[in-house]
Amino acid sequence: MDFNTKILHGRSTENYAFNATLPPIAQVTAFGYKSAEEQEKVFHHKAFGFAYTRIGNPTVSAFENRIAELEGAPSAVATSSGMSAVVMSMLNVLQSGDEIVAAAGLYGGTLDLFKDLEKFGIHTHFAKRLTPEYIEPLLNEHTRIVFGEVISNPGLFVLDIPKLSEYVHGKGLPLIVDATTATPYLISPLSLGADIVVHSSSKYINGGGNSISGIIVDGAKFNWDPERYPAMKDFEKYGRMAYSIRLRTDTWENFGTCVSPFNAYMNIVGLETLGLRMERICYNARQIARSLSEIDGIYDVNHPTLETSEAHELAETELHGYGGGILTLRAGSREKAFHILNHLKYCTIASNIGDIRTLVIHPWSTLYMHSSPEAAADAGVYDDTIRVSVGIEDPADLADDFAQAIKAE
């Protein structure tokens, strides 16, 4: 089965009560039992069942199973937000004194998170690009994780996952990637060598901009040496499933970062059209990037499909010619950027990506307000940068909209 067929007819779409085509929404806190013995069995994992929605819920499981199948993984854990997916994916194996090596060009919220982790004794080194050359000088005996975004938001750098994962594994380290902007439609990071994949499913997976959530997918290939990862010691008996089992029964459960059943349901509805939407969104982004490149007064238009983009070659090979749904441009000054944003008719000024509507933002004054100018520049953000999250509107209308906003008095 190929992608779109698998989304609708894969193993994970079957066996709902009454042969319903979508799972029922179990919008409940707890599940009742006929006997104390029965409940005891469920708590001890001796019988299948659900007890309490923070720990497990059938609607949430239905969402997790669908993503796990698409990513080719044994299981996935859904979270309350993309940020909780990012932080839980790391806290699951880290302790005070450990260090992370991460790309400098990351989502602003993730950069802020790494600052918060300093207070818990977890230090992050930033590599200008997540390549062996830039990583090498940052590694030491405390390094435990290498982290990057498959297509960075909004820097639009693309990770060379096969090359990077081979290098990182050679150092005995896992590669964790945030694939939010690439989506399971453009890439299967686990099959290319990544160990853990996280998504903010608030974005393309949901697609309609109606629910905050995230998901963590473990490829179950990395061997967590308990000497290096003492937090994993008690879970060594689970072999390659140690990461997933600790996450589900310990870290994620106790930090309380579960997703609401209703949001999980909305994500399933959205997921079913992911392939179709990405096809249109990527086509639109490519067309608009090309037409913006020809307009006077607009500089440095970036989309991975443009020959001028640093990511062009990897977009051709690793992303099969697609470049994702985000493009950036520079207007010449902060005032000119604001002028364009204020004159767009069909593009909504909003801090989100992956909606079916085209969304625009001035990242410098919003998402990167806590970053230094140098850190923002490393993430591809300047005071005149506009980020566009391209939607499914008709591409000629979008191109006309930008042209008129740039010309507007």
Q: Which residue has the tokens 């801090």?
A: 351
Q: What is the DSSP letter of 249?
A: I
110 or 305: CB nearest ligand PLP:
110
Neighbouring C-beta atoms of residue 63, cutoff 10 Å: 27
| Rounded least distance, CB 152 to ligand PLP, Å | 7
Alpha carbons 285 and 348: distance in angstroms, whole number: 16
Alpha carbons 329 and 334: distance in angstroms, whole number: 12
Q: Does 331 bind ligand PLP (CB under 6 A)?
A: no
| Rounded least distance, CB 101 to ligand PLP, Å | 18
- Name the residue among 245, 267, 262, 209 with its Cα closest to residue 63: 267
50 or 262: CB nearest ligand PLP:
262
Query: Coil, strand, or helix at residue 169?
Result: helix
Among 98, 160, 178, 383, binds ligand PLP (CB under 6 A): 178
83 or 281: CB nearest ligand PLP:
83
Alpha carbons 27 and 91: distance in angstroms, whole number: 28
Q: Which residues pair with 89 in a beta bridge?
A: none
Give me the sheet containing 75-79, strands edge to edge.
75-79, 214-218, 196-200, 175-178, 143-149, 99-103, 123-127
107 or 364: CB nearest ligand PLP:
107
Q: Which residue has the tokens 């994970």?
A: 12
Q: How many CA atoms lie within 13 A of 28 on its CB side?
A: 13
| Rounded least distance, CB 60 to ligand PLP, Å | 16
| Rounded least distance, CB 366 to ligand PLP, Å | 13
Q: Does 364 bind ligand PLP (CB under 6 A)?
A: no
Q: Does 202 bind ligand PLP (CB under 6 A)?
A: yes
Q: Both tokens of residue 250?
A: 């310990």
Alpha carbons 43 and 53: distance in angstroms, whole number: 13
CA dihedral of residues 81, 82, 88, 93 (deg, nearest 10):
170
205 or 406: CB nearest ligand PLP:
205
Q: Does 328 bind ligand PLP (CB under 6 A)?
A: no
| Rounded least distance, CB 82 to ligand PLP, Å | 2
Among 111, 353, 379, 388, binds ligand PLP (CB under 6 A): 353
Q: Output the residue with the shortest Cβ distance to ligand PLP.
A: 82
Among 203, 248, 303, 362, binds ligand PLP (CB under 6 A): 203
24 or 109: CB nearest ligand PLP:
109
Q: Does 260 bind ligand PLP (CB under 6 A)?
A: no
200 or 291: CB nearest ligand PLP:
200
Please give the C-alpha separations between residue 130 and each of 158, 165, 168, 247, 355, in angstroms, as whole numbers.
Answer: 9, 11, 10, 26, 28
Stretch 40-79: interaction string toward ligand PLP, x if CB under 6 A: ----------------------------------------
Alpha carbons 230 and 323: distance in angstroms, whole number: 39
Q: Does 355 bind ligand PLP (CB under 6 A)?
A: no
Q: Does 81 bind ligand PLP (CB under 6 A)?
A: yes
Alpha carbons 243 and 310: distance in angstroms, whole number: 34
Q: Show the beta-strand stretches assigned E in 74-117.
A: 75-79, 99-103
Q: Both tokens of residue 18?
A: 């009454």
Amino acid identity of residue 61, one-letter, is S
Among 25, 100, 212, 329, binds ligand PLP (CB under 6 A): 212
Pairing of strands 326-330, 385-389: antiparallel
**137 CB-contact burial (10 Å; exposed 0-12 / middle 13-18 / buried 19+):** exposed
Q: Does 274 bind ligand PLP (CB under 6 A)?
A: no
Q: Does 153 bind ligand PLP (CB under 6 A)?
A: yes
| Rounded least distance, CB 109 to ligand PLP, Å | 5
> By CB under 6 A, how many residues form the interface with ligand PLP?
18
Stretch 92-111: interaction string toward ligand PLP, x if CB under 6 A: ---------------x-xx-
251 or 291: CB nearest ligand PLP:
251
Q: Does 180 bind ligand PLP (CB under 6 A)?
A: yes
Q: What is the DSSP letter of 260?
A: P
Instruction: Give residues in contact with ligand PLP (CB under 6 A).
Output: 81-83, 86, 107, 109-110, 149, 153, 178, 180-181, 200, 202-203, 212, 214, 353
